[in-house]
Structure 1
Amino acid sequence: MALRADWLPALAAFESAARHQNFAHAAEELHLTASAVSHHVRKLEARLGVALFQRHARGVSLTAEGRQLADAAGSAMADVDGVLRSLHGSRDEQDRVRITTLHSLVYTWLMPRLPEFRQRHPHIRISVDTEIALTRFDEGGPDLGIRHGPGHWPGLTAHLLMDDRLFPVVAPTYPGLDAVSEPAHIARLPLISDHARQGWHDWFRHAGVHGPKLEERYTFSDSTDAMSAAAFGLGAVLARERIAQPYLDSGRLQRLPGPALTARWSYFVVYPSHRRLRPAAQAFVDWVLTQVV
């Protein structure tokens, strides 16, 4: 016997009634009346030529044939529901942008700007991954990244986002700050460093200070922690301008004497060259590239 489309409402009513063992509860779930559910079930029984429910004063219970059909109908409904949820989730994923980048950049540069993106694109959802490991852009991975580097990565399209500069900063309340009037004096301070490719030796050489004895007393893997350490008065840190700007604007840090050193590496927006960005990801790229002044 072939399953016809006009059987589906009756099967849906039967499946719900079988699950609840109650026509009234099934009616509530399906937004029908109990008499309508009962009508669907009787229509199904008439077509099949078997009784699906035993009716008694306390309600209904499945017959053996009813149990057999209930198991099949329940399994089929669950499969359809799973597919519908999957399709709905796939549609939702079209509005999600997955980004991989540095924690320091998210915390000090990207986060303050995201409210503007939300206003422009309220339907787009953002997922940000700040793991230290260099992320691969496999299927199911991030849509794009903001990387700090030379600008050339195999298999990736890279757009220059912004350059950077390095200069020393310190908490304005650091003791004896008045005595620091030239770059050479900075070498006397406890120095804070991170794992950046350019460091204090590069900056002192650029500032014309040769052969200083440097004491890098604190080292952090993340630039945000290094900046916070300086803000708490642990010493001077060689700051990247893009990361340091919120600290300077708030007065938690101030620049020390000496020139700014142009960083060898810049920030780039990257994504796989072999696949086209989804509209939501393209919208983010277009927006973020306008955020540098």
Structure 2
Amino acid sequence: MALRSDWLPALAAFEAAARHQNFAHAAEELHLTASAVSHHVRKLEARLEVSLFQRHARGVSLTAEGRQLADAAGSAMADMEGVLRSLRAARIEHDRVRITTLHSLAYTWLMPRLPAFVALHPQLRLSVDTEIALTRFDDGGPDLGIRHGPGHWPGLTAHHLMDDYLFPVASPRMAGMDTMREAADIARLPLISDHARQGWHDWFRAAEVHGVKLDERYTFSDTTDALNAAVHGLGAALAREQVAVPYLQSGQLCRLPGPSVKARWGYYIVYPAHRRLRASAQLFLDWLLSVEKD
């Protein structure tokens, strides 16, 4: 006997009633009335010419035939739900962009700009990973990375996003700020460092300050932690322009005397050279490149 489409509502009602062993609970799940569920079950029984439930004063229970059909219907519904979930998941992943970048850049530069991208592409979903280690672009891994470096990595296509500049900053409330007149004065302050390849020695050399002893008292692995240490008055930090902007705009930090030195490394958008970007990732790449042109 071929299963016709008009059997499906009755089978769905029966499956829920069999699972709950209660018409009222099945009706609540299906957003029907108990009488509608009962009608569907009786219609199914009439078509099959078998009793699926034993009805008694305390409720209902499955007959042997009912149990046989309930097992098959439950298995079929579970299979359908599994397929539907996988289809929904595939659709979600199709619209997802996976990005890997530095925490400092995500926190201070990318986050304030993301609402503009979301407004342009509300259907897309974003996953942002800020692990310190360089992420591998394996299958299932990130679509794009924003890296700070020389601009060339084996096996990766790299698009220049923006340059960066280094300059000293400190909290305006830090003791001794009123005595900072020139770059050499900064050497008297406790200095805060991060793990960047360019540091205080490079900056003082560019500022033509020589023969001074530097007190690099505090070191942090992440640039935002170094800047937050400066906010709390621990000392002067060597800021990166792109990361320092929100701290300067809010007045938490202020620039100290001395030059703004172009960093040897810049920021680049990277992705595997052998792999064509998915449409959603291409939209994000195009948007990132347009941000710096505006």
TM-score under structure 1 length normalisation: 0.90
Shift in Å, 1:68: 2.1
CA distance in 1, matches of 2:39, 2:234: 79
Inter-partner Cα distance in structure 1 for 2:287 and 2:110: 12
CA distance in 1 between counterparts of 2:23 and 2:229 reads 67
Per-residue deviation, 1:12? 2.0
The alpha carbon displacement at 1:88 in A equals: 1.3
1:105: how far off? Answer: 0.8
Match of 1:257 in 2: 257
SS at 1:127's partner residue? strand
Tell me the equivalent position of 1:213. 213
Partner in structure 1 of residue 94 of structure 2: 94
Structure 1 residue 221, shift from structure 2 partner: 0.6
Paired residue type of 1:280 = S
1:91 partner letter:
R
Q: Which moved more, 1:48-57 or 1:22-31?
A: 22-31
For the residue of structure 1 that corresponds to 2:188, the secondary structure is: coil
Worse overlay, 143-152 or 204-213: 204-213
* Alignment partners' CA distance in 2, 1:177 and 1:31: 69
The one-letter code sitting in structure 1 at the alignment partner of 2:177 is L
Which secondary structure state, in structure 2, belongs to the residue aligned with residue 132 of structure 1? coil
Distance in 1, Cα, partners of 2:35 & 2:187: 88
Q: Which residue is equivalent to 1:236?
A: 236
Secondary structure of 2:172's counterpart equals coil
Alpha-carbon distance between aligned partners in 1 of 2:53 and 2:93, rounded to the nearest angstrom: 43
Tell me whether 23-32 or 172-181 shows the greater mean CA deviation.
23-32
CA deviation map 1:86-145 (0-9, x unaligned): 211221222322211111111211121122222222222222111212111222222211
**Distance (Å, rounded) in 2 between the aligned partners of 1:265 and 1:280:** 28
Matched, 1:266 2:266: yes
Q: Which residue is 1:171 aligned to? A: 171
Query: In 1, Cα distance between the equivalents of 2:32 and 2:165?
Result: 68
d(CA) in 1 for partners of 2:236, 2:208: 18
Residues 178 and 40 of structure 1, relative CA distance in 2, 3 Å threshold: closer
Question: In structure 2, do the counterparts of structure 1 residues 25 and 199 end up closer, same or farther at CA, with 3 Å as the change threshold?
Answer: same
Is 1:189 aligned to 2:192, yes or no?
Answer: no
CA drift of 1:212 comes to: 2.3
Distance 2:112 2:36 in 1: 56
1:198-242 CA-to-partner distances (Å, cap 9, x unmatched) read 111111112222332111001001100111111222111111111
Match of 1:144 in 2: 144
Q: What is the identity, as a one-letter code, of the residue corresponding to 1:284?
A: F
Instruction: State the TM-score, normalizing by the size of structure 2.
Output: 0.90
- Tell me: CA distance 1:7–1:202, structure 2 relative to 1, closer, same or farther (3 Å): same
Q: Which amino acid aligns with 2:172?
A: P
User: What is the letter of the counterpart of residue 67 of structure 1?
Assistant: R
How many residues align? The count is: 293
- Say what the alpha-carbon RMSD is for the aligned residues: 2.2
Does structure 1 residue 118 correspond to structure 2 residue 80? no
Cα 1:9–1:239 change in 2 (3 A) is same
Segment of structure 1 superposing worse, 36-45 or 72-81: 36-45
- Bigger drift between 221-230 and 247-256 goes to 247-256
Q: Which amino acid aligns with 2:273?
A: S
